[in-house]
Chains A and B, each alone.
Chain A
């Protein structure tokens, strides 16, 4: 009999029992139980896009570097690729539903929950921290709520999304980079 392996985000040592760490004007939080799906689909296939929209309960963002949704988000990654962020417990079922809805189309859906970590960076100084290590211009004129982009952040590559005007940012990073990025963020925040 094989043992069941508990899913880990690899940040137990950094966060401990806490859900967030706070510095002056910024909070680094680890939202619990996030699941991720990668969806590839040619957006010119209008029927397939509609089928995906129906399953997701929201429209795929077709404009470059934008995202849709609240609790369940769909981020634009490239002209034919999206990242779906949803509750971890429903990621598997959603993956199956998308596969069924897109059967017959040239599409790919993969559950990549185990490889991603979503962090939330919020507070009046969050933008200062972004500008310290990010290849994007985080000024709200260039990166406003509703926008997202893959970008270099410190020595990692992340998906950044501007959630609201606080500002609050979602930072989705590869699991193996998460510990490094958290320490970098804590250092930048003066923690």
Chain B
């Protein structure tokens, strides 16, 4: 069993999490402009690397947050977990609202 570190709750057993596939898959801005091959590539094709893999996990039986885990697919060693929001430190973090806007 993997011991996965939730960026909010800390390390928890794998059975508390659900897997969300490869991280960083961005929906094309204008799907109508894509060829069938490009659309199929977005929908179905994943990098499936041997080694370091950035993947989405959800702490389903905990805080129910999505985050990114960097896991080695050969050794299962987990290099780190990253939040997806603005406070996240990983390259997948998206710019969001900054703290304390209403004060």
- Measured CB to CB, the residues of A under 8 A from B are 44-48, 64-65, 77-79, 105, 135-136, 149-152, 157
* Residue of A47, A65, A135 touching B102 (CB-CB under 8 A): A47
Question: Knowing A79-B63, A79-B65, A135-B15 touch, does A64 contact B102 (C-beta < 8 A)?
Answer: no
Q: Are B9 and A65 in contact (CB under 8 A)?
A: yes
- Measured CB to CB, the residues of B under 8 A from A are 8-10, 12-13, 15-16, 61-65, 97, 99-103
Closest A residue to B97 by CB, please name it: A44
- Chain A residues touching B, majority SS: mixed
- Chain B residues touching A, majority SS: loop
Taking the nearest CB of chain A, how far is it from the CB of B19, in angstroms?
16
Chain B residue contacts of A78, Cβ below 8 A: 8, 62-65
Question: Knowing A135-B12, A135-B13, A152-B15 touch, does A48 contact B102 (C-beta < 8 A)?
Answer: yes
**Which residue among B16, B63, B97 has the maximum number of chain A CB atoms within 10 Å of its CB?**
B63
Chain B residue contacts of A136, Cβ below 8 A: 12-13
Chain A residue contacts of B63, Cβ below 8 A: 64, 77-79, 150
Closest B residue to A77 by CB, please name it: B63
Q: Are A151 and B65 in contact (CB under 8 A)?
A: no
Taking the nearest CB of chain A, how far is it from the CB of B17, in angstroms?
10
Taking the nearest CB of chain B, how far is it from the CB of A191, in angstroms?
26
Q: Are B103 and A46 in contact (CB under 8 A)?
A: yes
Taking the nearest CB of chain A, how far is it from the CB of B81, in angstroms?
13
